[in-house]
Amino acid sequence: MVEDRPEWRTGKLCYVEIPSVDVARSAEFYQQAFGWQLRRRGDGATSFDDTVGQVSGTFVPGRPPAAEPGFVIYIMVADAQAAMDAVLRAGGRILRPPDPAAGEVFAWFSDPGGNTMGIYQQPGLAQMEAETGRHV
């Protein structure tokens, strides 16, 4: 169906390669913590799609983890505290909790492979998900 295909546009963020020392563990972490869909590519590599099918990627062994928060990718969530709890349950660590004085709610976490990523609490997302019944 055309409606299910991600929106295409020049400049769209479309693919992410996440360094991984244990691909199965990394895949399990992101599936458990954020509800990402996992699949096998034609070459047998484990790939993922985000919860809305707009961004995909793969886990890449042999690369050092992106441990330092230089270039940080943020994962949109409805509730930062619930997302941080899910990260901890799935085996990650919280590196920087939200700052109550900040204008926006975001946090940094480390996945089991040592990569630093971010959580961003999108204003209004919890209400929209509650109204539509679409949530992780």
Question: What pLDDT digit, counting tens, does each position of 7-59 carry?
Answer: 777 777 889 999 999 999 999 999 999 999 999 999 999 999 999 888 999 99
Q: How far, CA to CA in Å, does 111 sit from each of 37, 53, 92, 102, 115?
A: 17, 21, 5, 24, 5
2, pLDDT greater than 80: no
pLDDT score for 6: 65
Q: For residue 53, is it left (φ>0), alpha (ψ between -120 and 50) or beta? A: left
What the chain holds in terms of domains, given with CATH numbers, is 12-132 (3.10.180.10)
Structure token digits, residue 26: 């990394």
Question: What pLDDT digit, counting tens, does each position of 64-120 carry?
Answer: 999 988 889 999 999 999 999 999 999 999 999 999 899 899 999 999 999 999 999
